[in-house]
């Protein structure tokens, strides 16, 4: 399950969607696919058959178009923090604040 932690995280998502609307269609389609792919990955992480046992909570990151997240696992009926990471946006025009081993244009998951 994937959820936004607060209004700031929701506003971050709205900003991303607004920017994608203004981008050239071929760029917007590729970036949208990258984001959807990572959202699907995080929403099913570790529980491919039953997503109700994990929960990914997204928070606004200080970097534009990026999120931090807390992955939570259900234990005895209650979600408990498991680990944290980032859903980081990479492009040629963004600052290089994280290291990647391959050329990424879009979002990648960092833990």
Split at pLDDT 50, 70, 90, the class of 33 is: very high
pLDDT value for 53 = 82
Confidence (pTM): 0.81
Segments making up each domain of the chain, as ranges: 2-110
* Mean pLDDT score of the chain: 84
What is the full DSSP assignment across the chain?
-EEE-SHHHHHHHHHHHHHHHHS-HHHHHHHHHHHHHHHHHHHTTT-SS-GGGEEEEEEE-SSTT-EEEEEEEEETTEEEEEEEEEEEEE-SSS---S--SS---EEEEE-
Q: Which residue has the tokens 């269609």?
A: 25
- Kindly compute the dihedral angle of the four CA atoms of residues 17, 2, 11, 100, in this order, to the nearest 10 degrees: -70
Q: Which residues of 28-52 are buried (b: 16+ CB within 10 A; e: fewer)?
A: eeebeebbeebbeebebbeeeeeee
Residue 81 has pLDDT above 90, yes or no: yes
Confidence of residue 12 (pLDDT cuts 50, 70, 90): very high
């Amino acid at each position: 399950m994937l959820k936004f932690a607060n209004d700031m995280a929701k506003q971050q998502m709205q900003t991303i969607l607004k920017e994608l609307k203004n981008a050239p269609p071929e760029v917007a389609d590729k970036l949208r696919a990258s984001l959807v792919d990572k959202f699907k990955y995080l929403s099913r992480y570790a529980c491919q058959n039953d997503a109700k046992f994990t929960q990914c909570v997204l928070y606004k990151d200080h970097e534009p178009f990026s999120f931090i997240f807390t992955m939570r696992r259900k234990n005895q009926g209650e979600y408990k923090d498991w680990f944290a990471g980032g859903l980081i946006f990479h492009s040629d025009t963004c600052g290089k604040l994280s290291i990647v081993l391959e050329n990424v244009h879009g979002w990648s998951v960092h833990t």
